[in-house]
Amino acid sequence: MVELADVMVESAVGYVALPLGLATGFIVDGESYDVPMATEEPSVIAAAAYAASLVRRDGGFETRAGEPVTTGQLFVENASAEAAARLESEASRLEREAAPLLTRMTERGGGWRGMDIARLDSTGVLRVQIHVDVRDAMGANVVNSVVEALRPSIERLTGGRVLMAILTNTADRRVSLARFRIRTRSLARAGMDGTEVAARIVTANEIAREDRSRAVTHNKGIMNGITALALATGNDTRALEAAVHEYASRDGAYRALTRYELARDDGNRTAILRGEIALPVPLGTVGGAAGIHPTSRVALELLGRPDAMTLAGIAAAVGLAQNFAALFALVSEGIQRGHMGLHAERIAWSAGARGAERAEVVRQMRERRVYGLEDARAILASIREPGSP
Ligand code: MEV
């Protein structure tokens, strides 16, 4: 196994193993999924599964994934005044030149999707963007190869010099949507009726659209789910997060990626809460770590070997579920109640409890609502030596 680590990165000495769990019971576009999630954070998987179970009662999530287009950029210094026009007129020649690198993509229905050219205001540098439908790959390697291969032709056509050629992690063509609707009666909690809780969820979301410091935490919660799925399936989590946070700030302010609204259904008889998320999801299902890491392969198997667009839809649904669970808890009972229950597991472990002892220490901690390390040690001692304090 260390040999595989050495194949994946340089100077490998081992692995950092993270827990891998299943958020069970998702219905996405009529299909059921148990979603693999790799995370170090307690409550994330339970919260996603809980939201999935509520949404399932009212039909599950509907999604629509964006086309899997990745964009490469070349930045050209000292390009001539007529450079843009020359590039436009030679676009199909550039496409033909890139074709050998895109044979497999094209066979799978992807490939070249066009070029756009812009002059950057303050540097005067010419930016040439090449768009490639990468189908089920994340696409970084192939797009970087394309822009590097086109470098000499682009220099010749523009009369300038390419400063750098690299993909952009902006993924606004890969924006995916997920939504659900749920009868508010399922949301009654903490002495409030379901419609009141739903209205509080709507307001909590509006706050995260207005207040950037709340939006950061709100979106972090969304990424708790999506990044965990990306990690489980061997995807580049930094590329994903860079794209998502860029998208969250696309109008200049950093905003929540979700929307909620209260509505009525069945001829006005039933109050419902609608939830929706839109965000870029640049995830691949072939190549990269997804192709060789055994756990990633198992994770993709568990999902029924989805293509990239199906995985993007599942990811959007998971992000929305995660956010819905967080807001539901925050505006009703608060999140600490659920968290402390799970926190007890860690404390019991730190106190030295294992196996059946651990289960008993956790049970007693929850019952007495005490969560300190000393509490756990005392309970453990009392189990081992009945009669001790
Ligand atoms: C914790 O990891 C995530 C939350 O803070 C998200 C949120 O506040 O919306 C619970």
Amino acid at 256: A
Contact 140/239 with Cβ under 8 angstroms? yes
The contacts found for 89-96 with CB under 8 angstroms, 24 or more apart, are 90/153, 90/157, 91/115, 93/153, 94/130, 94/150, 94/153, 94/154
Just list the catalytic residues.
41, 220, 236, 339
Look at ligand 1, atom 6, and give the residue with the nearest C-alpha. Answer: 221
What's the pLDDT tens digit per position in 52-72?
Answer: 999 999 999 999 999 999 999
Ligand 1: atom nearest CA of 208 is: 9
CA atoms within 13 A on the CB side of 56: 15
Pocket test for ligand 1, best of 200, 211, 217 (most atoms within 8 A of CB): 217
- Classify the C-alpha dihedral 250-254-258-260 as positive or negative: negative
pLDDT for 267 equals 85
pLDDT for 86 equals 98
Look at ligand 1, atom 2, and give the residue with the nearest C-alpha. Answer: 221
CA 282 to chain CA mean position, Å:
9
What's the pLDDT tens digit per position in 202-249?
Answer: 999 999 999 999 999 999 999 999 999 999 999 999 999 999 999 999
What's the pLDDT tens digit per position in 138-196?
Answer: 889 999 999 999 999 999 999 999 999 999 999 999 999 999 999 999 999 989 999 99
Pocket test for ligand 1, best of 40, 205, 218 (most atoms within 8 A of CB): 218
pTM to 2 decimals? 0.93
Q: How far is the CA of 227 from the centre of ligand 1 (A)?
A: 14
pLDDT for 272 equals 97
| pLDDT band at 4; cut points 50, 70, 90 | confident
Average confidence score pLDDT of the chain: 95
pLDDT for 150 equals 98
pLDDT for 347 equals 94
φ and ψ at residue 183, rounded to 5 degrees: -70, 135
Q: Ligand 1 pocket by C-beta < 6 Å: which residues?
A: 41, 217-218, 220-221, 224, 326, 330, 335
| pLDDT band at 388; cut points 50, 70, 90 | low
What's the pLDDT tens digit per position in 16-53?
Answer: 889 999 999 999 999 999 999 999 999 999 999 999 99
What's the pLDDT tens digit per position in 309-343?
Answer: 999 999 999 999 999 999 999 999 898 777 787 78
What CA–CA distance (Å, rounded) separates 49 from 322? 9
Average pLDDT over residues 269-278: 96
pLDDT for 389 equals 57
What's the pLDDT tens digit per position in 73-99?
Answer: 999 999 999 999 999 999 999 999 999
pLDDT for 371 equals 92
Q: Which two tokens stand for residue 218?
A: 């709100």
